[in-house]
């Protein structure tokens, strides 16, 4: 009978899925409390998970000294507290001073870049290139660019400030994640049928290895890029070099585009000083990108994630449009984990079929 044809079965399945999605969208008022709850715990959980993979190798190293897990965690926490206190003592004044000065000078930087953009458009040597609507559009883009950048910087600062109270719980969450390190793994395996336990164990180990490789690797790469960028900015005498290099540290966790996004504020600050300074900033970006792409990333992460660059670009664009900067940061590791889980699910399905 025609209704049993595979085309109609799959079409009916697609229609039912779309209908379920539509109906879920109609009960937003019912899901709103759950969404707010998830939004409250998401950031602390995300930060705690990130720090868990950074701290775990150190905690396991200390545990080799035959210390109890609780004491080993407290020792690592104490060491990091001392390190950050030392950094804060000597670098805190520089950070606060440069940040306050940058926020104070943003309107002046904005106006300066606008003036230089208009001056560039009116240059006689370039006048032939910018005629009619093209010149108007380029001028409009130049006038809009800096407010967007400055708004992004101020928005980032505001988000960090608003998250401060929420992130108080992060050390406690991190402590229990490290303390119950292997307990979660063992409990998951206990509830899995013996028939699939070996395969599930492999999936959990591969997922854990994927996240560990990505997070630790990206943290090392971000730190190296921050140091190289700061050296470059300081060499050319760029103002606010420390804060602008720290911005690169944050954006470097975004794959492929992170270093480019991070250099945008530095470029406009340099352009506000003089056009040649802006060119120098771009030259530093190219040099750092070449070092990162050819030497740093291949030796730290290599091809362990096995994700094609085109796939990363598509994931990045989709995540950025849906979830903004949070989507940019978590898109690649989430995709890598889903890829591992999908492969494991297929293997378990084959075991079930046999």
Calpha distance 226→244 (Å, rounded):
9
Q: 37-46, 218-227, 280-289: which range is least confident on average?
A: 37-46
Report yes or no on 269 lying in a domain. Answer: yes
**pLDDT category of residue 78 using cuts at 50, 70 and 90:** very high
What DSSP string runs through 48-109? HHHHHHHHHHHHHHHHTTT--HHHHHHHHHHHHHHHHHHHHHHHHHHHHHHHHHHHHHHHHH
Q: So what's the pLDDT on residue 29? A: 60
* Structural domains of the chain, count: 1
Report yes or no on 288 lying in a domain. Answer: yes
Report yes or no on 57 lying in a domain. Answer: no
231-237: which pairs have CB atoms within 8 A and are 24 or more residues apart? 232/284, 232/287, 232/288, 233/266, 233/281, 233/284, 236/270, 236/277, 236/280, 236/281, 236/284
Condensed to tens digits (0 to 9), the pLDDT of residues 291-303 reads 877 777 777 665 5
- Greater confidence (132 vs 55) lies with 55
Report yes or no on 233 lying in a domain. Answer: yes
Report yes or no on 199 lying in a domain. Answer: yes
Condensed to tens digits (0 to 9), the pLDDT of residues 143-155 reads 555 454 555 555 5
pLDDT, mean over the chain = 76
- Greater confidence (269 vs 5) lies with 269
Is the model's pLDDT at 159 over the cut of 70? Answer: no
Residue 340: give the domain boundaries. Answer: 191-354
- Name the 3-class secondary structure at 1: coil
Give the residue-averaged pLDDT of 202-230: 87
Report yes or no on 239 lying in a domain. Answer: yes
Other residues' Cβ atoms within 10 Å of the Cβ of residue 66: 7
- End-to-end CA distance of the chain, in Å? 30
- Name the 3-class secondary structure at 61: helix
Q: So what's the pLDDT on residue 75? A: 92
Q: 53-62, 125-134, 204-213, 233-242: which range is least confident on average?
A: 125-134
Q: Which two tokens stand for residue 26?
A: 């109609």
Report yes or no on 200 lying in a domain. Answer: yes
- Greater confidence (56 vs 292) lies with 56
Calpha distance 302→227 (Å, rounded):
21
Q: What is the CA radius of gyration of the chain?
A: 25
Is the model's pLDDT at 196 over the cut of 80? Answer: no
Q: 84-98, 120-134, 262-276: which range is least confident on average?
A: 120-134
- Greater confidence (44 vs 29) lies with 44
Which is nearest to 232 in space by CA: 163, 172, 295, 279?
Answer: 279
Calpha distance 235→266 (Å, rounded):
14
Cβ contacts of 285 within 8 Å, gap of 6 or more? 259, 260, 263, 267
Is the model's pLDDT at 308 over the cut of 60? Answer: yes
Cβ contacts of 278 within 8 Å, gap of 6 or more? 267, 268, 270, 271
Report yes or no on 171 lying in a domain. Answer: no
């Amino acid at each position: 009978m025609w209704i049993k044809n595979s085309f109609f079965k799959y079409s009916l399945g697609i229609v039912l899925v779309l209908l379920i999605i539509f109906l879920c969208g109609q009960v937003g008022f019912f899901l709103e409390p759950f969404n707010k709850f998830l939004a409250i715990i998401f950031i602390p959980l995300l930060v705690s998970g990130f720090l868990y993979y950074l701290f775990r190798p150190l905690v396991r190293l200390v545990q080799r000294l035959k210390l109890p897990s609780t004491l080993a965690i407290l020792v690592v926490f104490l060491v990091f507290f001392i390190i950050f206190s030392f950094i804060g003592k000597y670098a805190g004044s520089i950070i606060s001073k440069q940040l306050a000065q940058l926020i104070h000078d943003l309107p002046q930087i904005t106006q300066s870049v606008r003036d230089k953009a208009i001056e560039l458009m009116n240059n006689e040597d370039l006048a032939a290139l910018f005629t009619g609507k093209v010149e108007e559009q380029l001028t409009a883009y130049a006038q809009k660019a800096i407010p967007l950048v400055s708004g992004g910087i101020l928005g980032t600062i505001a988000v960090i400030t608003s998250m401060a109270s929420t992130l108080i719980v992060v050390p406690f969450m991190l402590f229990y994640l490290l303390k119950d390190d292997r307990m979660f793994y063992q409990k998951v395996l206990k509830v899995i049928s013996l028939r699939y336990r070996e395969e599930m164990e492999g999936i959990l180990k591969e997922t854990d290895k994927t996240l560990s490789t990505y997070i630790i690797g990206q943290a090392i790469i971000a730190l190296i890029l921050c140091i190289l960028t700061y050296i470059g900015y300081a060499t050319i005498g760029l103002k606010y070099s420390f804060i602008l290099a720290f911005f690169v540290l944050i954006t470097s966790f975004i794959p492929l585009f992170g270093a480019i996004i991070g250099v945008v504020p530095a470029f406009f600050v340099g352009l506000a000083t003089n056009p040649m300074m802006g060119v120098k900033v771009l030259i530093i970006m190219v040099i750092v990108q070449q070092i990162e792409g050819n030497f740093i990333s291949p030796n730290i992460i290599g091809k362990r994630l096995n994700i094609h660059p085109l796939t990363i670009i598509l994931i990045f664009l989709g995540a950025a449009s849906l979830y903004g900067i949070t989507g940019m940061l978590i898109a690649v590791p989430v995709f890598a984990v889903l890829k591992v889980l999908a492969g494991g699910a297929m293997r378990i399905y084959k075991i079930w079929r046999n």
